[in-house]
Structure 1
Amino acid sequence: MLTNADAFLAIWHDLESTGKSEWERWHTYEHMPERVGIPGFLAGRRYMNDDDPKQCCFTMYEGSDLSVFESTAYLERLNNPTPWTRKNAPTFRNFTRGACHRVTRAGSQHGYGGVILTVRILRG
């Protein structure tokens, strides 16, 4: 993680191939700066898996605590998407978002590497 945060918002999703380049521009220039500008959001990082389009996108936002992901400021942005967000939303597939609490830490306090492993437990 980039900070010593104990809370983070994990987001997984796939993209329609025709929307990927526009999504990358939107996510880089509008979405991530907007989210990290919300009080209590500390950092954000995006990971892409270009080898598997069905598991291509993982984004993690670090927060000062779990309540940040239920805050009025966050919900205001979430429930009032920008025009650019509305344009990109139809390209998302298999969207999963969850607020998480870090339970352990190992190694360096700051992870600046380019690799992450996530585990998704599917229902059913």
Structure 2
Amino acid sequence: MAGKGKSTLFSEMTPGADFEARFNAWYDTEHIPIRMDCPGFVSGQRYRRHDGPGYLAVYEMDTLGAMSTEAYTKVKTQPSEETAWMLKNVTGFTRYLADETSVRANIDPQEALDAPFLYAVSFTVPAEATADFDDWYEQDHVPLLLKEPKWLMVRRMRVADGVPETYTHLALHYLADADALQSPARDAARATPWRARLAKEPWFKGSYTVFSRHGQRHFARV
């Protein structure tokens, strides 16, 4: 079953240890399913931070227009009591809306979408540096990363809106194993002259987070 869209909603939350089980039950039985009933939503996959507490959900959408339908507006403005309680009590909240700009993969992208590990990289790139940054990522960085067979797919996204940071670029790296991050291919990708030049820029300070897949993918029900 196809699960990939052209746009994503990337959202993190961290429940307290005393209500983590309740949080997971709510997320799996209410929070994701009601979104899967909204037009334009294709699928949703949950993840857990690999290095500590916190959960991520990546929602696949046909377009970002899925966020402005009447059905989704009702979901957002008429939360259940449990949803209202959760949103009041979780911490570490992030929410980024992004459009896919490129996909490069070693296997079928639909299969890669369900990789056991997701490596998320975000940057805030000034407008005057965007073309150089994009060319480096597409022409230099991604081809070297994909020389590692466990590096299944790289999806690059332009962030349309988000909090709490003002990121402009999001890259979702789908990995067969987290040890791909210690591979010779990644070492080579991080050691090129082009990257070294960009790394000298004050804005070249990315956010890097590894997540492991949590549960099964949810699919649209409409």
Normalised by the size of structure 1, how large is the TM-score?
A: 0.86
Match of 2:39 in 1: 39
Match of 2:24 in 1: 24
Amino acid at match of 2:19: G
Greater fraction of residues in strand: 2
C-alpha displacement of 1:29: 0.9
Match of 1:65 in 2: 63
CA displacement 1:40-59 (0-9 Å, x = unmatched): 11100000126412xx1110
Structure with bigger RCO (C-alpha 8 Å, 6+ apart): 1
Counterparts of 1:39 and 1:8, CA distance in 2: 14
Match of 1:113 in 2: 115
| Two-structure CA RMSD over aligned residues (Å) | 1.7
Normalised by the size of structure 2, how large is the TM-score?
A: 0.50
Q: 1:18 to 1:120 in 2, by over 3 A?
A: farther
Unaligned runs of 5+ residues in structure 2 are: 124-164, 167-222
**Which of these residues, 73, 79, 104, is aligned with residue 77 of structure 2?**
79
Amino acid at match of 1:3: G
Q: 1:112 to 1:50 in 2, by over 3 A?
A: closer
Query: Whose radius of gyration is greater, 1 or 2?
Result: 2
Amino acid at match of 2:23: W
Is the 1:3–1:62 Cα contact (8 Å) retained in structure 2? yes
- Classify the secondary structure of the residue corresponding to 1:61: strand
Match of 1:48 in 2: 48
Unaligned runs of 5+ residues in structure 1 are: none
Aligned residue pair count = 120
